[in-house]
Structures are given as structure tokens and as C-alpha cells.
Chains A and B, each alone.
Chain A
Amino acid sequence: MKKILKGTSFFVVMLMLVGLLAACSSDDKKNDNSKTDNNNNNASQGTNDKMLSGSLTISGSTSMEKLSNIAIEAFMIKHPNVTASAEFIGSSAGVEQVLAGAVDIGNASRNLKDSEKEAGAVENIVAIDGIAVIIDKTNNLADLTQDQLISIYTGAITNWSELGGSDQPIVVVGREAGSGTRGAFEEILDIEENVVYANEINSTGGVMAKVASTPGGIGYVSLDILDDTVVALKLEGVEPTADNIKGGSYFLSRPFVMATVGEISEQDEIVQAFFEFLKSDEGKELITTVGLIAAD
């Protein structure tokens, strides 16, 4: 009896394993099917405009991963015969690749350098990333300079009294490593190597809550989610508003550049269609869904 039981149990386990594998693979197939279905549907819509076919390659900034992926996905649904791909190897490497002709578009999460422009790269700003610096409501400070902000986040200044505030220690709050907001914040201030956090919180809402509930707290969040539980500081006297960021007077922001060699009008029609798509209302909506400000 025992032997039989052993035999059956082994058999049952094997069966389950096989079943599981089968379930997985059939799921994959289903997904594939639904994807192609989708594409076919869209294809029939797309044929009304213009049938583009070919490939689009993008390479560059890791910070632009979200934006690029969501954009090429939507673009491929619109133009099913185009295969678009993006890889994320860093801003400078991306611009190098586009200059070398290896890719169609080079992503850079900064303004292009003069040397890059001289080599023929054209700076197409598709979106702007803005970050607000927030403090708790009991804090009476309203304005910080860039140097003060750097000193706070590198631990050189630890008390608000050193900045003309009340005698209250500064509680430095930030995001976890890997967060795009943290990457942008540290990159703009150039403090990636020596930043010191007292709190690393893994969500924007968490940062807001911690700062709101901690007297002397300071944190940074994406501009689009600010609410009145905290106070957004002016930086160098400039309010963090979408207009100021577009105007360039608010320094805690950075352009998302999709560089091309030569003007957009000189590109092949797929690249032109891609930029047109980004500038359309649909494209702008995509840009705002990933927490960015659409460029005009």
C-alpha cells in the first residue's frame, strides 16, 4: 500500500508540474494572439492614413526609459508595420550612437553639449521633467538657493537656523535608489556621489506624508502630484510652476531631448511620424501620464 501511495504521489506531482508548464505556455500563446489581434485591428484603422513600414531605433538616457517605452508602444500600435526598439545606455552614449548613425534617435536627459551640436546633433526637446522641493507647513522658510539645497542634501547644513529659519534640525527625506525622481534630482544638483539621506522612502506619496508629518523635514517630489499638505519651496526665488519650468527659470528641471542628426524634416518618414505623434494631443497625454510636462 505504501509503495502504491508513493508511486501515485510521484505521478501526481509530475502531472501537476506538466500541467503548470502547459498552463504557462498556453498563457503565453494567448497573450501573443491577443497582441496580434490588437495590431490587426489597429492596422485596419491605420491603413486609412498612411501605411508606414520599417524600423525605428532609439538609444540613450536611462531616465527616459518610461517615456520612450510608452511612446514606442503606442506608436507601434498606431503603425503596426513599424518595429520600434529602445535601449537605455545613458545620455552621452545615446547621443554618440545617433551621431555615429547607429540609431535614429539619441535620448538625452539634459541639454546637448556644444560639442555634440557641432557634430551635427539637433536638440529636439520633447518633454520637461520638473521636481518640487517640499517642506512641512510649520517651517517658515519660503526660498532656497541651489547652493543651500546642495548643502542640505550633502549634510553640510543640518539645522534650519543656518538658513535663517527656526532652530530646528533638518530631516532629509528622499527616494530609494533607482527612482527616476531621485536620479534627476541628484543629477541636476550633481550630488550623486555624496548625498546623505536620513529617510529613503519608496513612493512619492510616502515622501509627502513623511515631510508633512515631520517638523523640519525636507523632501522632493514630482511636480504633478503636489498638494496642500506640504509647502513647495521657491528655488532661487522662482515658484515651481509648469510655466516657470517651460520658461527655464526654475532650475530643478531638465529637458528630455530626443536628438537627431539634422532637423526632423530631414529624417525619414518614420522618424518624422514619431515626432508628429509626440507632438499630437495623444502624445502629449502620454507624456503627462508619465509625470512630465509636454514641451511646446
Chain B
Amino acid sequence: MNKMSFSIIGSNKNKKSIEKAASIIFTICAFFGVLAVFSISIYMIVSGTPAIFEVGLKEIIFGTVWKPNAAYPSYGIFYVILTSIVGTFMAILIGVPIGIMTAIFLAETAPKPLAAIVKPAVELLAGIPSVIYGLLGVLILNPIMYKIELAIFKDSPNHQFTGGSNLLSAVIVLAIMILPTVINISESAIRAVQKDYKQASLALGATHIQTIFRVILPAAKSGIVTAIVLGVGRAIGEAMAISLVAGNGANIPLPFNSVRFLTTAVVAEMSYATDTHKRVLFTIGLILFAFIVIINIILNKMMKGGNVDAK
């Protein structure tokens, strides 16, 4: 109908108004995101700070006992924070090497038919909802973990058996969940390395593997670090899957302990919490929010650094 207005022979006036209208629409759309971030930040600060004054920041962050409903309630989430840090770190430790190796495989060494299997599988992995990871964890991982737990702690009467819901289960689930992020971003980083580097290295007599580890990976460093930071972001913000497999006891993050992450601490108790308990849950949300903001700042710094390198 108005195909004409987009054509070069359309009148100048018409074109101008369309340009203008489009740019206004784009601006409005762009500010939805800003509005969301802005209102979330305000909301988190407004609802997260009252409990800090009520209970005390030190008691919340460094307290180790979580008993919100006791006669003398205590709201210490030190172990919870520790669990989030340790759990995310362990997940990165497992997930990142596997992810980077997979990326190298896809970008460098994979024969075409194999890559045709691996690539769609990784992409599918990224699209699976986290609750499915959690259910698989409950049905497959937890029973296996329970058998291992039974074997290891056979003779230690002080161990509290968790039925396989422990830190290790959560870490394994998280490691699998960050794989697609790590693989996809490091693969494109590796592919973006200039061909000359590789050719020069090979021409100098280095083997393919030497070239990968000594030339290509260092050249793709900033992209790979970005992948890792994004992986950390994904791992620290995940709630659904780990709330199913971690056991949710506020304990020291040891491999076979039932543990509670920052995210699950909020999710698990929000529905029935009242008064101070509820406000402290918002504070936990605020702490988690702060973690994620910090990760994003690091990421931004790193991306900028990467650009400088490239120039």
C-alpha cells in the first residue's frame, strides 16, 4: 500500500516524517529497558534497606545462624553468601575448561560431521529451561550423590545425611548450565582471531596444538574472559534448578553439605515470610543485586579493555 513511501522516488517530506516517527518509536522502546532497570534498582534499595537498620548489616552479613522464626530470631547469612561464592567458583572451575575446550574443538579441530552434532546440541542446551535441569538433578544426580555420600560417610556418625541434595549436585548442575554461554562466546572469540597469527605460527613450524594454546587462545583472551564473567553472572543468578538439588540448609559450603544459595534463600521463604523475616529476604535480594552489579561493572571494564587491545 504505502510501498511508495519507502522508495527513493517518494517525496522528500514523506521520507523525513517517517524517519522522524521511526526514531521516536525506537527511543521509546529503548527506554523500556532503562525504566525497568531504574525501577528495579529503586525498589530493591527501598525494600532492602529497612532490615539493615533493624537487624544490623554486620549481623546479617557475618552472622552464621539463620533462624528467622525462633523466639530470638537471628538472620545471619554468612554461610549463604559463602555458598554462593564457593558454589559459583566451583561451577566455573568445572564448566570453564570444558567450555573452552569445546569452543576450541568447534572452531579449530572438529571434523565437519562431528561439529554438526556438537553445535546444535550446545545451542539446545542454552534453550532448556532451568527447572528441567533441576528436575534432572533431582532424578539422576541426587540418587548418585546419595550413593557416594553413603559410601564416603559410612563410618562418620556426625555427618548429616542429605539424600544427595548437596553442594556438589548444585555445582554440577550450574557447571552444565553455564556451558552454552562459555562455549558460544569463546568460540566466536577464537574465530575472531586474525588468520595471519595462525598461519604465521604454523609457518614457523609450530604444531596445530601449539598454535592453539600459544597463539590463538592468548589472542582471544579478552573474549574468553568475557565468557567466564558472563558464566559467573548466570551461575550466581540461577535459582530454580539449584533450589531443587541443593537441599537448602543454611550450612557451611562443604561438598556433601546441604547448602543454601543467595537466590534460593529468597525464593524458598518468600511465600510465607512476614515482618522482619520478609524484609531480611529483600536485603538478601539487595546483596545479590549488588553482586550482579559488580559483575557487570567488571564485565564492562573488561570489554572496554579488550577494545583498547584490539586497537
Contacts and interface: CB of A to CB of B under 8 A. Distances in A.
> Looking at chain A, what size class is its interface with the partner chain?
35 or more
A199 B248 contact: yes
A256 B142 CA distance: 39
Interface stretch (A41-49, A52-60, A103-111, A190-198): A190-198
B300 interface: no
B87 interface: no
23 contacts: A16-B31, A16-B35, A17-B35, A169-B150, A170-B161, A171-B161, A171-B163, A172-B160, A176-B269, A177-B68, A177-B269, A177-B277, A178-B68, A192-B70, A193-B70, A197-B258, A198-B162, A198-B247, A199-B248, A200-B248, A200-B249, A201-B268, A216-B163
Contacts of B66: 177
B27 interface: yes
A199 B163 contact: yes
A169 B149 CA distance: 10
B32 to A, nearest CB: 8
Contacts of A193: 67, 70-71
A62 interface: yes
A268 B267 CA distance: 44
Nearest to A1: B23
Which of B24, B27, B150, B267 has the most chain A CB within a 10 Å cutoff? B27
Given A178-B68, A197-B249, A215-B146, 6 more contacts: A178-B273, A183-B69, A199-B162, A200-B258, A200-B268, A214-B164
A172 B248 CA distance: 12
B255 interface: no
Given A8-B27, A177-B269, A213-B143, A13 B69 contact: no
Contacts of A169: 150, 153, 161
A5 B27 contact: yes
Given A8-B27, A177-B277, A180-B272, A216 B161 contact: yes
Interface of B: 23-24, 27-28, 31, 34-35, 66-71, 138-139, 142-143, 146, 150, 153, 157, 159-165, 243, 247-249, 258, 260, 267-269, 271-274, 277
A9 interface: yes
Nearest to A183: B69
Contacts of A12: 24, 27-28, 31
Contact of A192 (B69, B160, B260): B69
Given A16-B35, A176-B268, A177-B269, A155 B69 contact: no
Contacts of A217: 163
A12 B27 CA distance: 8
